[in-house]
Amino acid sequence: MSTNPQVNTTVWTNSSILALRNQQRNDFIAAGPASAEIRRARIQRVIDLLADNADALCAAMAEDFGGRPVVFSMMNDVLGSLGSLKHARDNFEQWMPSVTRPSVAPFDQFGASAWVQYQAKGVVGIIGTWNAPLFTLFSPLASVLAAGNRAVLKPSEIVPHTAALVARLVSELFAAEELAVVTGGPDVAALFAEQPWDHMVFTGSTNIGKQVMRSAAENLVPVTLELGGKSPVIIGQSADIRNAADRIAVGKAANSGQLCVAPDVVWVHESQSEALVTALQEMYAGLFPTIAGNDDVVSSVNERHYARVEQYVADAASRGARIVMAGEWPSPNGVKERRMPLRLVLNAPADSEIARNEIFGTALLINTYTDIRQAVDAINAGEHPLALYYFGSDAQEQSWVLDHTLSGGVSINDVTMHPALHDAPFGGVGASGMGHYHGHEGFLEFSHARSVYQAGGHDPRREWGMLPPYNDNFKQMIRGAVVP
């Protein structure tokens, strides 16, 4: 199957994107609420799209990255998306019914009732990212479709082969008024963000997330932002250092650190730092005995991102940070392929680029502490991260760390695992995002919770003196109800 990025030659403009949105919105209104059967069928078609075209999609991602293992793309993007979709397919029906709520007293004594009805919002715009090009489109789409909405997808222009293939496959299986894809560069993404969606999802950097939110504010569009940040790892003194190093190495190796939940900075007690460095070197080298020409190593997605990470490491070194290589030393071929070993950057100054910015690549910042409170204070002094990781067997310390930090999600004695929880919300907080998808919480995110009050057969207000002209008895009753 061809993965030529020129398959879709549509040039999207503000008017054509708006026309697509309006087409979906008009059909959404005309069709009325989507039944359970319709929702299930739509989700199943997306599942079939991924299952039937998994190899072609993985080939497209490999071409876009210039080197990405099929097994990783299959595991992270295809299976990750399928997990979200299948969980939604198998569970959304139990989330759909209205929920009874207590009515207004004393009218409930006369038959008044109340409930909350969960309604689809309408048309949802979803902007995906390049590092997980399928997952960031189809995982939120699972919740969007489960709630009965229509959707328009905007894949990242940094992965043009994947974007074009997704656009073609979606057009083959869905009418445009149900699900559609808009492709193009940053200019198209900016136009996409300006549309009057009924909800918008964006995955990407915090800076671009702010721009998206500003655009959404013009139309008062609610947003779900999945951003990032410097996801920290706290290693308590009770931790098994080799086990921690193994889990961190595996998590950092995934997509060569190009994941929004990749461990970014590790805090370890100063007495254990050298043991951690040695173990990280051993574990990472065990995963990748060679770097250049190793098809298991994901390349940096392009020259710009490769150069950015290299600049972070060089800047830290120039400021006196110690740089330790985990894996073989770089070779000319490795550089040409944009494949590099993991660099461990120890105690970089707080004003260095690598300490201030999300790394999103093959480097890991390691800081030491003498008291774990120093690590927690440093984390709390920055923006809330998308993920936080704790290693240790001290239950009291673990509880203290969780109680005294705030992050989108947490994995304990492992890294990058909590996003795989299909029945638990995935999302950020503060600078790492807002809102969430996955599971029941994802269904609620893309539903309007509509309160409904239904009057009973008799209204006692007039006979009880509760309507004008007010009598003294009613005035005294109101005053008597004002109690602490």
Is 178 noted as a catalytic residue in this protein? no
Report which secondary-structure segment, H or E, holds 351: none
Please identify which of the residues 260, 358, 383, 445 carries the catalytic annotation: 260
CA 149/CA 126 separation, integer angstroms:
12
Which three-class secondary structure state does DSSP give residue 177? Answer: coil
Contact predicate 329/341, CB 8 Å: yes
φ, ψ of residue 118 in degrees (nearest 5): -100, 110
CA 265/CA 365 separation, integer angstroms:
5
- 319-325 long-range contacts, CB within 8 A, separation 24+: 319/348, 319/349, 319/351, 319/352, 320/349, 321/345, 321/346, 321/347, 321/348, 321/349, 321/352, 321/354, 322/346, 322/347, 324/277, 324/281, 325/281
Please identify which of the residues 178, 194, 226, 310 carries the catalytic annotation: 226
Q: Degrees (nearest 5) of the Cα angle 135, 138, 142?
A: 125
Q: Which residues contact 319 (CB under 8 A, 6 or more apart)?
A: 348, 349, 351, 352
CA 403/CA 376 separation, integer angstroms:
11
CA 419/CA 400 separation, integer angstroms:
22
Is 328 noted as a catalytic residue in this protein? no
Contact predicate 319/349, CB 8 Å: yes
Contact predicate 33/448, CB 8 Å: no
CA distances from residue 422 to 60, 84, 450 in whole angstroms, order as listed = 26, 6, 25
Q: What is the DSSP string of 272-312?
A: GHHHHHHHHHHHHHHH-S--TT-TTSPPPSSHHHHHHHHHH
Catalytic positions, please? Answer: 226, 260
